[in-house]
Amino acid sequence: MEKATRQQLKKQNRDLVLKIFFETAQISRAEIARMTGLTRTTVSDIVADLVSEGLVNEVGIGVSTGGKSPILLSLVEDAHTIIGLDLAYNQFRGAVVDLRGQIRNVISLPVSDTTGSQAIEAALGILDQLVSSEKDSLIGIGVGTPGLINSEDGVVVTAVNLQWKSLPLGKILSERYKLPVIVLNDCQAAAMGEFKFGETLPASRNMIVVRAGHGIGAGVIIDGKIFQGDGGSAGEIGHVVMLKDGGQLCRCGKTGCLETLASVRAVVQSAQNRLENGETTCLKISDLPITVDRMVEAYQARDRMVVEIIDEAGKFLGGAIAILVSTLNIHHIILMGEMTRFGDRWLDVVYQTMMKSTLPHQGRDTHLHTGTLRDNDVILGASALLAGNYALLMRQPSP
Ligand SMILES: [Zn+2]
C-alpha cells in the first residue's frame, strides 16, 4: 500500500474510534472493535495512541460476558477546551466549553446599540479574557453571529443589526489569538447545538431548528451535518414575504417579511399599535412599556387582543414551517427563541397551521418540540463543530 493511503486509512480508523468515544460515556476495546468492524489489534493500537495523547483514559472494569472482565475507557472531557461566542441581539455571550459540551466561565456583555467597530471591540474584550484563562488547553474559537455568513472564508457578508458588511471576522480572530476559528450563522450554530446536546434527539440524523426571537431563522441539519446551501444561507426564512399587501416595513428593506409578522419585535409592535388605537386590553392598565414579559402574562390570562396577536404570529410561523417540511420532509423540528415563552398554546397554533398547510402524510409524521438548551445553543453548536474536527485534538500533527 502507498504510504499516503496507509496514513489516510490510519487517520480514518482513528476518527472512527474517536467518534465512538464522543458518543459513549464508557466503552471497552472489544466493544469498539465490534462497533467499528476493526480488528482488536488495530483498536488497541489506536487506543494506545489516544491514551498517550491524553484524550482517552481507563476509568474502570466492566462486567464480564464470560472471559476476563473488560477495562472500560472514556474520553477525557477536559483534555481540550474550546471557546464558543454567541453574538446575539442585545447580548454577546462567550464561554469555555469542554469536549463533552460542559460550559464554564461564561462572560456576558449587554450590547444594545453597539455596532460596527465597537461591536468588534466588544467581542474581542470577551475573547481576550476567555483566551487568557485557558491558554494551554484551547484548540479553537467558534463564533455564531446573526446575518449572512461565508463560513468557508470566515467572512460576515452582512449582519444588519451589527452593521457589519464583508467583515473578515475569522481572519481578525485567528491572527489575534493564533488559533483556528470558525464563524457561522447563529441559527445554523444553534441547530448543531441542539443536534449534539439537546434532549430530544431525532431518530434520523436530520433536524430543523427554527429560532423565533428578535429575528427569525432556521438551521438545517442533514445526516448530522449543517446544511448551508450553495450560498451559505440555507434556512434564512425570516425574510420570505408572507404578506403581499399592506405589510410592515422590514429591516431588510422589504415589506411583509415573516419577521415583521411572527417575531418578538413584531408582536410587541403590533400590541403597541393596537393599544394606541384604543383597543381594550389588560396591557392598558399600566403606563409601563409593552414588553414580552407583560405580553406572556396577558396571553396566559387570555387577554383577547394579545391572544389574537400571538395566535396570528403563530399561524404565520406555522405556514413558513410547512414550506420547510414540504421541501425537506424532515420529521424533527425544534422551536427556539423568545417566542417559545408563549408556551404550549402558541406551539399548538404553530403545529396546527403546519399540519393544515402540508400533505397529511408529511404533517402527521412531523414532530414539533421546543429546544432544551436555552441560552447556550449557539455556544455549544459552534464549539461542537471545532471538537468534531478531530485533527485539532491531536498534539502530534495528523499523519
Ligand atoms: Zn425582511
What is the CA(104)–ligand 1 centre distance, in A? 36
d(CA 294, CA 391): 49
Quote the strand ranges of 323-365, DSSP E: 332-336
What is the CA(239)–ligand 1 centre distance, in A? 4
Cβ neighbours for 280, distance < 8 A, ≥ 6 positions apart: 304, 305
Task: Report pTM.
Answer: 0.91
Tell how strand 155-159 and strand 164-167 pair up: antiparallel
For residue 398, the model assigns a pLDDT of: 47
What is the CA(399)–ligand 1 centre distance, in A? 47
What is the CA(58)–ligand 1 centre distance, in A? 53
Closest CA to 43 of 66, 34, 391: 34
What is the CA(252)–ligand 1 centre distance, in A? 4
For residue 84, the model assigns a pLDDT of: 97
What is the CA(248)–ligand 1 centre distance, in A? 9
What is the CA(251)–ligand 1 centre distance, in A? 6
**Number of other residues whose CB lies within 10 A of the CB of residue 280:** 11
d(CA 161, CA 241): 20
What is the CA(118)–ligand 1 centre distance, in A? 25
What is the CA(344)–ligand 1 centre distance, in A? 27
d(CA 249, CA 257): 8
What is the CA(253)–ligand 1 centre distance, in A? 6
What is the CA(148)–ligand 1 centre distance, in A? 13
What is the CA(336)–ligand 1 centre distance, in A? 19
What is the CA(165)–ligand 1 centre distance, in A? 17
Closest CA to 379 of 129, 107, 18: 107
Tens of each residue's pLDDT in the chain, 399 residues? 677 788 899 999 999 999 999 999 999 999 999 999 999 999 999 999 999 999 999 998 888 877 888 999 999 999 999 999 999 988 999 999 999 999 999 999 999 888 999 999 999 999 999 999 887 789 999 999 999 999 999 999 999 889 999 999 999 999 999 999 999 999 999 999 999 988 877 778 899 999 999 999 999 999 999 999 998 889 999 999 999 888 899 988 899 999 999 999 999 999 999 999 989 898 888 778 899 999 999 999 999 999 999 999 999 999 999 999 999 999 999 999 999 999 999 999 999 999 999 998 888 889 999 998 878 999 999 999 999 999 899 875 544
What is the CA(105)–ligand 1 centre distance, in A? 36
What is the CA(244)–ligand 1 centre distance, in A? 13
What is the CA(114)–ligand 1 centre distance, in A? 21
What is the CA(216)–ligand 1 centre distance, in A? 10
For residue 383, the model assigns a pLDDT of: 95
Classified as helix, coil or strand, 20 is helix
d(CA 297, CA 308): 14
What is the CA(215)–ligand 1 centre distance, in A? 9
What is the CA(334)–ligand 1 centre distance, in A? 22
For residue 372, the model assigns a pLDDT of: 86
What is the CA(169)–ligand 1 centre distance, in A? 24
What is the CA(258)–ligand 1 centre distance, in A? 7
The helices-and-strands tally (H runs, E runs) of the chain is: 13, 16
User: Angle CA(260)–CA(184)–CA(188) in degrees, nearest 5?
Assistant: 60
- The H or E element that residue 11 is part of is helix 3-23
What is the CA(235)–ligand 1 centre distance, in A? 14
What is the CA(247)–ligand 1 centre distance, in A? 11
Are 226 and 212 in contact by the 8 Å Cβ rule? The answer is no
